[in-house]
Amino acid sequence: MAEIAVEVVAVERRLWSGRASFVVAQTTEGELGIMPGHEPVLGQLVEGGIVRVTTVDGETVTAAVHGGFLSVTGEGVSVLAETADLAEEINVEEARAALTGEDEAERARAAARLRAAGQSA
């Protein structure tokens, strides 16, 4: 099975890195699916977007990402987010509470966190 190296990094930490068979990211140009051998591309991640990585073991790693870039090269895929949260680390109650706040950007982040955690906003 073909595979690619993937890194999901936020400003404050590396969230995940490993080998994958598929990556899906939401960019300002639309949703991109990346498989091994993909042409090089640079995309701007949307605020309140989701990144899904299918590992070579068939597991799915999901992260809510907020701004940043997706870089695809011959060596692999890098997701460089301003902030990001892995699905299993998301506090659903806190995210739901943030949906009622006045800050539009924070509401978008909260909605993305809920989607990443498999919850509806």
Residue 36 within a domain:
yes
Q: What is the pLDDT of residues 48-75, one digit of tens each?
A: 999 999 999 999 999 999 999 999 998 8
Question: In 3-state terms, what secondary structure has residue 113?
Answer: helix
Residues 110 and 63 in one domain: no
Averaged pLDDT for residues 17-35: 96
Point out the least confidently predicted range of 30-39, 47-56, 86-95, 111-120: 111-120
- pLDDT above 70: residue 23: yes
| Together in a domain, 31 and 62 | yes
CATH number at residue 23: 2.60.15.10
Claim to verify: residue 38 and residue 96 sit in the same structural domain: no
- Whether 104 is in a domain gets the answer yes
Examine the domain organization and report whether 13 and 36 are in the same domain: yes
What is the arithmetic mean of pLDDT over 39-55? 95
